[in-house]
Amino acid sequence: MQDFGPWTIAFLSIAYILFYFMVQKGSPEFATMVTYFIPASAIIWGSTLLNEQIHWSLLIGLAFILGGIFLARKKRLQQAAATLNEA
């Protein structure tokens, strides 16, 4: 098995810097929505680097996650539109 320790530290450092940049330039809500894509990237990297098989259950789980993101984003946009209409 390969030792990914130095790579892990390097990429986590970059990820933290990007996260704080996104919070500073965007919004905390937007920055935290990025964390919902971790399972998708885990499926891709696991398949690519570790030759893991992609089962239908992984794809169904990913569909639930993406559907949840869509619903959360849709509700948030509706709330923002209602707030603008009141003003």
Per-residue pLDDT of the chain (87 residues; tens, 9 = 90+): 567 788 888 888 988 888 888 788 877 777 777 777 788 888 888 899 989 899 999 899 989 988 887 887 777 667 767 776 776
Are 19 and 31 spatial neighbours (Cβ–Cβ below 8 Å)?
yes
- What secondary structure letter does DSSP report for 4? -
Three-state DSSP state, 28: helix
Q: What one-letter code names the amino acid at 1?
A: M
Where do the domains of the chain lie?
28-86
Q: Give 33-79 as a DSSP string.
A: HGGGGHHHHHHHHHHHHH-----HHHHHHHHHHHHHHHHHHHHHHHH
